[in-house]
Structure 1
């Protein structure tokens, strides 16, 4: 049995290396001196840990930008060119994307295309993942998939926009590589809390509108995604008309009050085959069509009221928006804010959580899925496994 002091010293070295790696991942342009200050390390400790991480093919040092001033400039820490990668798969209502991402979040290769919604798409994407795994070999340490649907484990329980039910994503997993699957809106919320509009907040409520409403509550950078990973299905809360049945099987879902289906109903149009595209067209026409503007305002007000209800229940520091929620806010901001304020408890109205716009755009699902995968890799077990590659 080894002395406890030796074990403790080894654990501290491991934790120090993990802390540096996690900081480099979250702040990919940080210098070694900045990392040391942020983590309370001496310059000698930071240099020693960095040397070990370089030898392990985890980080590299590059010269800093030229700076005026005294002292020796500190090198910038970033991903090692032979370091670990995660393979990210994003499946939206109309498109797919497959990418490889390195430590720090940089996408090093990406492919994309459109699809018709057939579950056979899983096999096509599995072949692309397998090709990346064959090309990069053991550097691919995890596959992380984000899907526009309700997820439990690695199975899509329901994706009404895709017409999928009980679709297993296990084929995406190369032999010996872990597979993570999450709802795309939840992954965007994770990315936004860590790298987007919510970085200054401890508790972030993220909401997005595509086909229905999705999102997640993120507390101190960690998503509150429930026992099976299906947390954040805010769109199926009964904030809508109880006379309307949702494809999920429930009545009165908030989904049906805020997306293209709600706007089409307001215009006495039949239910659109593609609510996402219909919403975009109606929002665009609202610039010159008063009826379309009223339809958009109705959806924005319903979005705001649901936001207020969730703020009352979840008590976030900030609310962040993405997807069509940004378009609703831009086109009819007064309707959204009126709905939000009217639903808030009285004591919250003087200083409600700010509503912030996500800057991540279409990269949000990829960033979030990659971060979820690196959360698994940047652990003692993950580093131990990498050391054997």
Structure 2
């Protein structure tokens, strides 16, 4: 049952015949398992589109309209977003609020209020919560976020709605999960995801699973010493790559004061560069070189099949792709240069962190414990045509 349900989640437009083929089931077994899932209100069947093939027509299997959902939260530098995700990965339009400058307890209290409203709206259909936050995450706690100015915040505890499981991770990690499972890195055995908002983060995905180290705090690529060793970083280290690739770097190169809103500053410089401003273009090329060279170093160390780029990394790649690629190749070991892992723009540049948070929340639902819990709560679902 779990194998079939996971397949429906990853392939929302599947058919009963495809389930049997892809999972190695007999037609009878597929029919029986789908019937059990249908009785639990997890899936429903409709007439499939005709294929012209001979034989009995198959049935399309999709999520049930009253089936399980999860909540996904993304806390970024200036805003937070909350979305509800359905089996199959579909996101409802997210709720969004600005929070810049507020203390963590104020921001998390507001998100908690919104989550309780979501629980009231969906009742027992809401099965889990996934949280994406900018910063270093370990064991459910936000250890440090230099961009938010938060330290040692138990985000999971403050947002928990008993008895729902809570999964929390770094925003770049969550975005990488979305790319590996449903986006530009789908099918890659090992993928490297790079994201820039304020600073740079990322994750290595092994067959769709994030590798985040022994405590969950891995992927802090922005704090590799790829920058000026005399330049202090808010994280406490010196010479961090973070300071060479975002809006702070662009402002510094242009001789401007440190920006209050680095991502907004970066967007403005990119617009000027795109419009032909030579100084802005030179600044973007410099940042593009810093980005490409660092990615080359990561590829040497991590050996991914593909590299996906999101956020400001994707925007810089769009505008100055030649500079990124040239620096990337120059940073690669010689044997890698004949067939380097491709640099690909992310499929979910705007909502990847929300989608990834939803995917990891659904991992808890699509488990033996999750299925047992749903079975205990579920009432028999009405038959659908």
Alignment of structure 1 residues 37-116 onto 2, 5 Å:
37-108=21-92, 110-116=94-100
1:122 paired with 2:108, answer yes
C-alpha distance in structure 1 between counterparts of 2:101 and 2:84, whole Å? 23
The 5 A counterparts of 1:1-389 are 17-108=1-92, 110-118=94-102, 119=104, 120-169=106-155, 170-287=157-274, 288-389=276-377
SS in 2 for 1:353: coil
| Gapped regions of structure 1 (runs ≥ 5) | 1-16
Does the Cα contact within 8 Å between 2:69 and 2:127 map onto a contact in 1? yes
What does the per-residue CA deviation read over 1:166-222, in whole Å, with 9 as the maximum and x for residues that have no partner? Answer: 222212111211111111111000100111111131100000111111110000111
Aligned-partner SS, 1:307: helix
CA contact (8 A) 1:304 1:336 kept: yes
| Residues in 2 aligned to 1:204 and 1:102: alpha-carbon distance in whole angstroms | 25
Indicate conservation of the 8 Å contact 2:81/2:94, yes or no: yes
- Secondary structure at 1:107 match in 2: coil
CA-CA distance at 1:110 after TM superposition: 3.1
1:66 is displaced (CA, Å) by 4.1
Q: Is the 8 A contact 1:90 1:97 kept in 2?
A: yes
Q: C-alpha separation between the residues in 1 aligned to 2:240 and 2:57?
A: 57
C-alpha separation between the residues in 2 aligned to 1:213 and 1:21?
35
Q: Kindly state the Cα deviation for residue 109 of structure 1 after the two structures are TM-superposed.
A: 5.5
Q: Tell me the distance in 2 between the aligned counterparts of 1:294 and 1:336.
A: 13
Count of residues in correspondence between the two structures: 373
Write the distance in 1 (CA, Å) between the matches of 2:28 and 2:272: 61
**Normalising by the residue count of structure 1, what TM-score does the alignment of the two structures yield?**
0.93
Distance in 2, Cα, partners of 1:368 & 1:73: 35
Q: Deviations over 1:98-134 (max 9, x none)?
A: 1111111112463222222412110000011011112
The separation in 2 between residues aligned to 1:304 and 1:73, in whole angstroms, is 51
Deviation at 1:47, TM superposition (A): 0.6
Contact 2:165 2:364 in 1 (8 A): no
Report how far residue 96 of structure 1 moved. Answer: 1.4
Equivalent-residue separation in structure 2 for 1:286 and 1:179 (angstroms): 42
Question: Which residue of structure 1 lines up, in the alignment, with residue 382 of structure 2?
Answer: none
Give SS of 1:361's match.
coil
Residues 61 and 78 of structure 1 are in contact (CA less than 8 Å); yes or no, is this contact kept in structure 2? yes
Which ranges in structure 2 are unaligned for 5 or more consecutive residues? 378-385
Tell me the SS of whatever aligns to 2:370.
helix
- Work out the CA distance in 2 between the residues paired with 1:71 and 1:209: 52
Distance in structure 1 (CA, Å) of the matches to 2:14 and 2:293: 40
Whole-Å separation in 1 of the counterparts to 2:188 and 2:87: 23
Q: Quick one: higher RCO (CA 8 Å, sep 6+), 1 or 2?
A: 2
Partner Cα separation in structure 1 for residue 225 and residue 51 of structure 2: 57
